[in-house]
Structure 1
Amino acid sequence: MTIRIETIAGTDLPLRPGGFPLPQDLRGQVPAVWAKMIARNPTIWDGRLYGFTPPVVDAAGILRAEAMEDDYSAHLAWREAEFPEIGLCHMFVTAIICSSDGAIILGRMSGDTINAGRVYPPGGVLDPRDLGADGRIDAERAIGFELNEETGLHAADARKGALLAISDGPRMALGRVLHFDRTADALVQEITATLEQQDERELDAVVACRSTADGRAAGNLAPYAEALLDAVFGGRIDLLRPRVW
């Protein structure tokens, strides 16, 4: 399946009532899937998160979709079934960290997470803490929160680059490019020092990527992250040079 990367101008993600429209048979599998996940990793918990109606980018470049809220266990049952078509998209946010010397910083998920060993830009799912007072999900705020929670970096310290929508079948990553005025080595050292102080860390390591091969060497590189590295280091998109968008 082809992974598509496009630049968008912003998002409009209102919350609407109702849970995920899982078919009855798939909904019935939720307890068994959750029991399997708990047996594999007792540290996970069954919070709430959002799924989204199929996103559409309008003529102004605004990505529009409606959010629906359900249990994390319901999401995992959908994921374990390999995301069959239910009229929803699994949308998540990610911070694309660019160093001053032309590297992209990726993280590797720790063994205590559901995605242990997976390599991709810091980020996470959209959940109720990302809901604004206007009843809309604030993806930009979520990106900043995930960046700080996982790496200790602050989005406000970076120059904003493009906002990307990276589509991979039923999954979509919303990624803000963030340019930091530090070298890759300095960023890796700074993030590593933060990780070593965390009691419950989501990342066990970060890696500076100057090629797709660097990402693959770090662990199980997520397909959307691999497509992003291929596009950047293959010269098909220019994200490493700071610009005003």
Structure 2
Amino acid sequence: MNFDLPRNVILPVDAVDVRLDPSLHPFERDNQAAIAENWRREMEAKPALYDGTVVLLSALAYRDSRLVGRCHAVKYSTFMLWRKNRELSGAEHAYAHAVLVAGDNALVAIRMGSHTVNAGRVYFAAGSFEPIDFRDGLVDVDFNMIREVSEETGIDLSAARSGRRYYALSTASGTVIFRRYRVAEPADEIARRIGAFIASEAEPEIEGPVIIRDADDLPDGLMGHMKPLIEWHFSGSDEDV
């Protein structure tokens, strides 16, 4: 199977069957010395980095509106080296986005803090899948989305209206799995709440909220995968909630 899915097109996804393999990812197994040396340099540049645990794919395919794949828990330091060696690595990255839609139909994204790897970049509040996001070995995409949004913004999406299905966009840099989450408050109120949450945090992960009001409202620092998601939302062609 390895990696067999259309690239650079938004795909409807009815189910995500990505399972956690307990074995070492071959990329981590075969690159221990390089991982350690790269991590030393990364820590010199950004001492606040933490070598936690994330997951990295060894296979992903799109079959009958389903994403089917296999992933392995790896050190964050492994992920950081992989980012510089994506081609021919035998590994890919998948992550999830809760597309936060305000009551006035604006989107609310975030700008990452200066101490993070993606400093200044804009995307929907998100983080890599971690072992905690798996249930009996199967990834729980919504748990990851709700957890990450809460941790970064203080917004609880557990009672929000979610879209009836997922979507996915796979590019050379990774595969984003996304779903709309609608809340009643207008975007300005959501941004105010996020700002208050950031002010209460000793070490906030994000710099602040970013409101996107239409398909042409593209902020500086926008991550490359975000433009197609923004255009998809405002086109209204796939309204699902």
Structure 2 CA distance for partners of 1:166 and 1:48, relative to 1, 3 Å? same
1:153 is aligned, of 144, 149, 155, to 155
Residue 66 of structure 1 corresponds to 70
Question: SS in structure 1 opposite 2:184?
Answer: coil
Residue 230 of structure 1 corresponds to 231
Q: Structure 2: which amino acid aligns with 1:168?
A: T
Residue 4 of structure 2 corresponds to none
Distance 2:154 2:46 in 1: 25
Q: Shift of residue 212 of structure 1?
A: 4.5
Residue 100 of structure 1 corresponds to 103
Identity of aligned residues (%): 25
Question: SS in structure 1 opposite 2:26?
Answer: coil
Q: Structure 2: which amino acid aligns with 1:139?
A: V
1:138 aligned onto 2:140: yes
Structure 2 CA distance for partners of 1:118 and 1:18, relative to 1, 3 Å? same
Q: Shift of residue 139 of structure 1?
A: 1.6
1:186 aligned onto 2:189: yes
Distance 2:50 2:28 in 1: 23
Residue 131 of structure 2 corresponds to 128
Distance 1:30 1:210 in 2: 41
Structure 2 CA distance for partners of 1:236 and 1:157, relative to 1, 3 Å? closer
Deviations 1:39-76 (Å, cap 9, x if unpaired)?
111111111111113322322x2211111121111110
Question: SS in structure 1 opposite 2:19?
Answer: coil
Residue 45 of structure 2 corresponds to 40
Distance 2:80 2:70 in 1: 20
8 Å CA contact retained: 2:103, 2:185: yes
8 Å CA contact retained: 2:27, 2:91: no
8 Å CA contact retained: 1:13, 1:138: no
1:166 is aligned, of 165, 169, 177, to 169
Relative to the length of structure 2, the TM-score reads 0.89
| More displaced stretch, 154-163 vs 19-28 | 19-28
2:79 is aligned, of 75, 81, 95, to 75
1:86 aligned onto 2:72: no
Q: Shift of residue 24 of structure 1?
A: 7.9
Any gaps of 5 or more consecutive residues in structure 1?
none
Kindly report which structure 2 residues correspond to 1:16-27, keeping only aligned pairs within 5 A, or say none.
16-22=21-27, 26-27=31-32
Distance 2:155 2:236 in 1: 28
| More displaced stretch, 205-214 vs 144-153 | 205-214
Distance 2:156 2:114 in 1: 25
Question: SS in structure 2 opposite 1:220?
Answer: coil
Q: Shift of residue 213 of structure 1?
A: 4.4
Residue 12 of structure 2 corresponds to 7
Distance 1:86 1:38 in 2: 23
Q: Structure 2: which amino acid aligns with 1:11?
A: V
Residue 57 of structure 2 corresponds to 52
Moved over 4 A (4+): 23-27
8 Å CA contact retained: 2:57, 2:72: yes
8 Å CA contact retained: 2:133, 2:143: yes
Any gaps of 5 or more consecutive residues in structure 2?
1-6
Q: How many residues align?
A: 235
Relative to the length of structure 1, the TM-score reads 0.88
